[in-house]
C-alpha cells in the first residue's frame, strides 16, 4: 500500500487501483464536484514525480481514450483542476518518489501496455451531475440533458424556456473553456440538427464567459454524456449490440450513498444552489 496525503488531495495505491480523493478548502471547484476517483491499473500509461524548488508535483498519465473526462476536456483542463496532478510539499517528496516506484513496479509486473484503448476504462463523473455558468446551467441524470437559463441569457433562449432532450438524440458533445476574451461553450450536437448558430443563441448550448472557476464544472456534464456515447475508437457495432460505453443496468448502492454525501458537501459549500441540490438529490434517490 502506497499513500500520500497533501492539502490538495490524497492518492492511495493498493496494487490494483489508484484512489484519488480531492482535498478540502481551496481545492478547485472542478475537483470538488468530481469527487473520489478510482483509476484501475490497466488505465495507466505511466506516473512521474517532477521535483521543484518548494516540493514538486505528481502526475499520472492515462492511456489515450481510457477516461471520458480527459476525452471531453481535450487537454484544456486547468492545472489546478486536473485530478491527475498533485502538488507535493517539500517534506513529502520522498513519499512521492516511493509512490512512483510502487506504481511503476506494478505496471511492469502486470505488463500493462501504454497504448490507446478502444473502450472507456473509467466510468466518468457520477450522475446526476450539473455544471456550467455563463448564461445557464446544464444537468444530466444519465438519461436526459436539461439546459436552464439565467438572467444573462439572450432573449431568444430565455423566451423559449429550458431545453430538455434525451441522450438518445445526442450525437456528440463539445466543451471549450473561455480563454482570454474569447467565450467558451458547452454544446450538444443533436442528430440531424447541425450546430450553425453561436452558442449564445443556440438552445442546445451554454455560452461560457470564464468569469468564475465554477464554469469549468460544465466539463463534468460533457464527460458524463461522453461516457454514455459510443467510444470514438470502438469498432462498428452490429445490429442490436449495445454501445461499449453504455451505463450499467444497476448502480452500486455504496457509490450512490457516496454521491449523496458529495452532493450535500457541494451544497453546503455553495457550489450547488438549493434548486440544483434538490434536483440532483431526487435523481440519486430515484436510482436507489
Q: In which element (H, E) is residue 47 found?
A: strand 44-52
Q: Is the dihedral angle over the CA atoms 23, 131, 123, 86 positive or is it negative?
A: negative
pTM greater than 0.85: no
C-alpha cell at 97: 518518489
Top-confidence residue, 288 or 203:
203
Q: Render pLDDT for 31-78 as a digit per residue (tens, 0 to 9).
A: 988 999 999 999 999 999 999 888 899 999 999 999 999 999 999 999
Q: Render pLDDT for 256-288 as a digit per residue (tens, 0 to 9).
A: 677 777 777 777 777 677 777 777 777 777 665
Would you call 265 exposed, middle or buried from its count of C-beta atoms within 10 A (0-12, 13-18, 19+)?
middle
Q: Given a cut of 90, is residue 117 above it in pLDDT?
A: yes
Band (pLDDT 50/70/90 cuts) for residue 2 is: very high
Q: Given a cut of 80, is residue 120 above it in pLDDT?
A: yes
Instruction: Supply the pLDDT for residue 250.
Output: 41
Residues 6+ apart with CB under 8 A from 137: 130, 131, 147, 148, 150, 206, 276
Residues 6+ apart with CB under 8 A from 159: none
What b-and-e string marks burial along 207-235, b requiring 16 or more CB atoms within 10 Å of the CB? bbbbeeebbbbbbbbbbbbbbbbbbeeee
Average of per-residue pLDDT across 182-196: 86
Amino acid at each position: 500500500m502506497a499513500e500520500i496525503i497533501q492539502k490538495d488531495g490524497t492518492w492511495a495505491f493498493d496494487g490494483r487501483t489508484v484512489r484519488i480523493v480531492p482535498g478540502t478548502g481551496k481545492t478547485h471547484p472542478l475537483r470538488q464536484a468530481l469527487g473520489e476517483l478510482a483509476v484501475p491499473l490497466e488505465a495507466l500509461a505511466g506516473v512521474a514525480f517532477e521535483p521543484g524548488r518548494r516540493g514538486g508535483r505528481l502526475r499520472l498519465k492515462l492511456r489515450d481514450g481510457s477516461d471520458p473526462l480527459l476525452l471531453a476536456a481535450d487537454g484544456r483542463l486547468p492545472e489546478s483542476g486536473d485530478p491527475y496532478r498533485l502538488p507535493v510539499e517539500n517534506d513529502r517528496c520522498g513519499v512521492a518518489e516511493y509512490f512512483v516506484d510502487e506504481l511503476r513496479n506494478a505496471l511492469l509486473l502486470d505488463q500493462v501496455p501504454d497504448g490507446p484503448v478502444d473502450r472507456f476504462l473509467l466510468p466518468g463523473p457520477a450522475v446526476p451531475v450539473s455544471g456550467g455558468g455563463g448564461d445557464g446551467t446544464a444537468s444530466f441524470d444519465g438519461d436526459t440533458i436539461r439546459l436552464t437559463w439565467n438572467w444573462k441569457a439572450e432573449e431568444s433562449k430565455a423566451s423559449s424556456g429550458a431545453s430538455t432532450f434525451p441522450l438518445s438524440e445526442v450525437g456528440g458533445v463539445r466543451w471549450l473553456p473561455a480563454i482570454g476574451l474569447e467565450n467558451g461553450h458547452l454544446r450538444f450536437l443533436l442528430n440531424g440538427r447541425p450546430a450553425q448558430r453561436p452558442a449564445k443563441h443556440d438552445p442546445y448550448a451554454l455560452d461560457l464567459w470564464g468569469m468564475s472557476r465554477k464554469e469549468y464544472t460544465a466539463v463534468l456534464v460533457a464527460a458524463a454524456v461522453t461516457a454514455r456515447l459510443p467510444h470514438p475508437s470502438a469498432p462498428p457495432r452490429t445490429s442490436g449490440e449495445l454501445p461499449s460505453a453504455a451505463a450499467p443496468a444497476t448502480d452500486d448502492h455504496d457509490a450512490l450513498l457516496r454521491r449523496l454525501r458529495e452532493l450535500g458537501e457541494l451544497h453546503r459549500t455553495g457550489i450547488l444552489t438549493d434548486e440544483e441540490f434538490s434536483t440532483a438529490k431526487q435523481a440519486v434517490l430515484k436510482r436507489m
